[in-house]
Structure 1
Amino acid sequence: MNTLTTNDAKRNFGERLLNAQRKPIKISQNNKDAVLVMSNKDYEELKTKKVDYIKHCFENAKRDLAQGNVVDGKDFLDTL
């Protein structure tokens, strides 16, 4: 993944947007990662995967609850 400073990103911004359509670009500010520029298609795919993962976790939790596979919250925290 290409990383640019904010000043580099400002120069030839249109070209940077075209590059981000092919692969994400990190933009750093004061030597720290600030933002990630990616295509809308990549963002939508990432968002869909996140939703699918949350649904998967929720279904597993419902199944565990129905089967009685639960842990007392206090006991769990005490073991940490």
Structure 2
Amino acid sequence: MISFTANQAKTQFGEMIAKAQREPVSITKNGKPSVIVMSIADYNALEELKLQNLREKLARSVAQLEAGDLHDGEAVFDELMKDI
């Protein structure tokens, strides 16, 4: 992954955007990773994966409910929130 300091990202914004179209770019601040800049296509793909994961978890929960395998609601939400 390509990395820019926050100052480099500011002064070389156009270059950073061009690179982010090809692969995610890490922006560091005070020597520590701060944010990731990525193309809208990569972002949309990531969001779709997250949605697919949530749908799979909900489908498993419905199947468990239909099988009579009941769970505490709080435990179910804890499981859903674990990956966020």
The TM-score with structure 2 as length reference comes to 0.78
Q: 1:43-79 CA deviation, whole Å, 9 max, x = no partner?
A: 0111111111101100001101111223558xxxxxx
Instruction: Please state whether the residue corresponding to 1:36 is helix, strand or coil.
Output: strand
Which AA in structure 2 matches 1:36? I
The aligned residue for residue 65 of structure 1 is 65
- The question of 1:38 aligning with 2:38 is answered yes
Alpha-carbon distance between aligned partners in 2 of 1:69 and 1:32, rounded to the nearest angstrom: 45
Among the aligned pairs, what percent are the same residue?
37
Alpha-carbon distance between aligned partners in 2 of 1:31 and 1:7, rounded to the nearest angstrom: 11
Structure possessing the higher radius of gyration over alpha carbons: 1
Which AA in structure 2 matches 1:37? V
Runs ≥4 in structure 1, deviation > 4 angstroms? Answer: none
Backbone CA RMSD of aligned residues? 1.5
Structure 1: 5+ residue runs without aligned partners? 74-80
The aligned residue for residue 76 of structure 1 is none
Q: 1:13-47 CA deviation, whole Å, 9 max, x = no partner?
A: 10110110000001011122111000001101111
The aligned residue for residue 55 of structure 1 is 55
